[in-house]
Amino acid sequence: MTDLQKTLEAYIDEHADDAITYLQQLIQQPSVQTNERGVQEIVIEKLNRLGLEVDVWDPVYEELAKSPYFVASRDTYVGSPNVVGVLKGQGGGKSIIYNGHIDVVPEGDRSKWIDDPFSGKIENGKMYGRGTTDMKGGNVALLLAIEAVIKSGIKLKGDIIFHSVIEEESGGVGTLATLLRGYTADAAIIPEPTNMKLFIKQQGSMWFRVTVEGISAHAGTRYEGVSAIEQAIKIHNGILALEKIRNDRVDDPLYSHIPIPIPINIGTIKGGSWPSSVPDLVMIEGRMGVGPHETIDAVKQELVKHVASLCQADDWLKDHPAKVEFFGAQWVPNAVATDHPFAELMKKNFETIYGRALTIQASPWGTDAGLLGNVGNIPALVIGPGETKVAHFPNEFIDLTEMIKAAKLFALTLTSWCGVASTD
């Protein structure tokens, strides 16, 4: 262990309790969509205290709307500040973005929570509450790492850019806004809850809707009509066939143990209005996975073309083609090469801190890394404390020991990636 590492780890261990108290303060701010201001004020206070240059702004809808990556999740972002803190380096080093989202999904049915969802209660080394694992715990690990570097008197060559963003849970407007405002870097980490596995690739996705028509008739003479449900079943089955075609193409070893690497999920179906009438309209909605090396546009086109050719081959649908639309959210996929220098560094640092090899996986869902990678062209790695399986669920929690240990990895990554200019 180098002296530098020893210093950083010692600082982090000594200040673990403060970091836990700080996490509790963040959890006690229920930063669901449109209610992010309170938690951001606590983040701003911390960044100011650490001496970072702090930029706070409400993302502007009209500016975001110019980006092809913008998916409107709200009418306005006024009152929902995005926060960036910058610690300029001494020069000559590589820069890094530490990105975490500060929004949380709603608590859901409160009766399913043992304690208040925003209590931040600690029990047996775990803190409970909405956002503990997804992902305020990760954010605190990032901040503790930055603090450890600063307070240990280490001056880095490269810049640190800390993103505390809104709207990740609704498609990534916050991270898109930081990129459009010019905050970029040579590499990025997002400590989403991966249980400290490295999610080097992430599946993107978008929502689609297919509408099919029939002809209404009285149920007693249903042969005079055409059931839109029967037509929708053809579309349903045809989409599952496309899923198979697409997944048969996937040969990435990261997906070798995953039954369906890029699934197409048909999530809802709705049609017909009366038991005694032949249904004349059915709508299905779903989510289509986008592979790490695919683009959303290309995958949209593949679905449109597949449904069109399916219709063309059908007696009814060729004259009454199903309508395909894309709506609502989309998540951009992401991929970093496993031999990218930043990935190599992360493997090495992980072994240093954890004493074992880093597990590398592809995630079945998107993160803001897709925007960092595609809009900012930044190699962005997703790795953080906490378990995915408790995210979005009642009684969400994070193991605090894991959070503190992650801070050590993130601190070491700062010095080794950005380079050390001097120490006090």
Please report the DSSP string for 338-372 in residue order: TTSHHHHHHHHHHHHHHSSPPPEEEESS--THHHH
HEC string of 105-166 equals CCCCCHHHCCCCCCCCCEECCEEECCCHHHHHHHHHHHHHHHHHHHHCCEEECCCEEEEEEC
The Cα 374–Cα 392 span in angstroms is: 26
Using CB under 8 A, which of 28, 265, 338, 416 touches its own copies? 265
Residue 168 is a catalytic residue: yes
Choose which of 269, 308, 345, 421 interacts with its own copies (CB under 8 A): 269
Which of 25-33, 182-190, 257-265, 300-308 is the region at the interface with its own copies (rule: CB under 8 A)?
257-265
* CA distances (Å), origin 52, targets 132, 146, 273: 25, 10, 59
Which amino acid, 160?
A: I
How far apart are alpha carbons 224 and 216 in whole angstroms?
A: 8
Interaction of residue 364 with its own copies, rule CB under 8 A: yes
> Taking the complex as a whole, how short is the minimal distance between the CB of residue 33 and its own copies, in angstroms?
16
Count, residues in the chain = 424
Tokens describing residue 259: 């039954």
Active site residue 248: no
Taking the least distance from each CB to its own copies, the nearer of 287 and 408 is 287
Binds its own copies by CB under 8 A, chosen from 134, 147, 285, 402: 285
Contact between 108 and its own copies per CB under 8 A: no
Applying CB under 8 A, does 256 fall inside the site for its own copies? no
Closest residue by Cα to residue 34 from 136, 134, 176, 174: 174
| CA dist., res. 88 & res. 111, Å (int) | 47
Interacting residue with its own copies among 252, 365, 387, 419 (CB under 8 A): 365
Residue of 36, 55, 103, 159 with catalytic role: 103
Q: Of 196-235, which residues contact its own copies (CB under 8 A)?
A: 203, 205, 207-208, 218-223, 227, 229-230, 232-233
* Residue placing its CB nearer to its own copies in the complex, 360 or 411: 360
d(CA 318, CA 345): 55
CB-based contacts of 37, cutoff 8 Å, min separation 6: 79, 80, 81
Residue range at the interface with its own copies (CB under 8 A); choices 40-48, 137-145, 249-257, 281-289: 281-289
**Would you count residue 172 as binding its own copies (CB under 8 A)?**
no
> Is residue 266 a contact point for its own copies (CB under 8 A)?
yes
Residue 290 touches its own copies, criterion: CB under 8 A:
no
Given the rule CB under 8 A, which residues bind its own copies? Answer: 203, 205, 207-208, 218-223, 227, 229-230, 232-233, 236-237, 259-260, 263, 265-279, 282, 284-287, 289, 328-329, 363-365
- What are the catalytic residues? 103, 168
